[in-house]
Amino acid sequence: MISESIIHIVSFDIPSPPDYGGVIDVYYKIKYLYQKRVKIILHCFQYNNRTISEELERYCYKIYYYKRATSFSRIFHFLPYTVISRKSDLLLKHLLKDHYPILFETLHCTYYLSHPDLKNRIKILRLSNIEHHYYYHLFLSEKNVFKKFYFLTESIKLYFYEKKIFPHAHQILPVTSKDLEYTTQYYSNIRAHWIPSFHPFNDLCIWKGKGNYLLYHGNLSIPENYKTAEFLIDRIAPNISIPVIIAGKNPPAFLLKKSKKYHHVQIVANPDTEEMKQLIQNAHILWLYTHQATGLKLKLLYSLFSGRFIICNNKMIAGTSLQPNLSLYIKNTPSEIIESIHSLQEREFDDSAYLQRKNLLEKFDNEHNTQQLLKIIVSS
């Protein structure tokens, strides 16, 4: 590696604290690049009451913050709202101060990726999802009529925007092999490379032995997640005796009401980082289920590195190359899930299960993936 590398990173949000899916990948990517002596010029869009981060100053050479333009009228723009709301003339001005490579974190940040003044710059696009797929599944899961309309129109806009913007990237970096296959199939002239999400784990931190509850965790304000929690309460909980804990941000009122039907179901609302860590490590079974096979679920990584037995469905591990073993069970139907819960309830997480979990996670090594990212930056 050259003695000094400098890169611009354009982030869709302030990546500190790393307390939800997308920003976890950005935060730990920054941290590992810093450890490789890369100078990072970070550009963040600020919204949702996230504040300027002193911690990021430890890892970044420079940081610029931009207010996200979230006015209602932008929903009616022909460009996706997630993109047009992150348009900033000041961002372009800062990017044009030098000739360093630019890493755009997700499609949301790419308003300037096709700008003619950046034509000769190395531009790398990180994909956390195929966004029009993701928004279409949000449309299918959403209950609110207005939000359903928004998710559907956003999905259509993202589909056409993707076709316009992808060809301007020198490299595309999906987080799953499934998204890599999509990219290479539809954009065969663009170089693409699979780099899984960055995360906080250097090694396993799983407690052997037994826990005494089943855990489902996720951001419960997102339709996909509260739909899954509802499925757990309605279809699984009535048929098992093990206590069930559902933990996550901002659970909707209907979910809180529904959980009270069963004495062994508890919802933990808005746990902080440490409380969530303890919930994951103390659980006997982590149940991970998704209705949409989009992106790499960061809750899957957290569970794999920190939790005992995992039961998940095929869609949860799509594009990860993970295979079932003594520590990871792939079950799709309610009857299969219930049967696995019964069989695992009295089993201990032992040395064999621990070793098999460790072998599963070699491809998610942050050090290796940092080296891969650096090679891509240099060779683009």
How confident is the prediction along the chain (380 residues), in pLDDT tens digits per residue?
A: 444 699 999 999 999 998 887 899 999 999 999 999 999 999 999 998 899 989 999 999 999 999 999 998 899 999 999 999 999 999 999 999 999 999 999 999 999 999 999 999 999 999 999 999 999 988 998 889 999 999 999 999 999 999 999 999 999 999 999 999 999 999 999 999 999 999 999 999 999 999 999 999 999 998 889 999 999 999 999 999 999 999 999 999 999 999 999 999 999 999 988 999 999 999 999 999 998 777 778 889 999 999 999 999 999 998 888 999 999 999 999 999 999 999 999 999 999 999 999 999 988 999 999 999 999 988 87
Query: 317: closest CA among 352, 363, 277?
Result: 363
- Please list the helix, strand and coil fractions of the chain in percent, rounded to the nearest 5, in that order: 45, 15, 35
Distance from CA of residue 179 to its chain's centroid? 13
Q: Could you tell me the pTM of the whole model?
A: 0.87
Is the sign of the CA dihedral 13, 15, 16, 17 positive or negative?
positive
Query: 134: closest CA among 143, 145, 142, 144?
Result: 142
Query: 309: closest CA among 298, 324, 293?
Result: 324
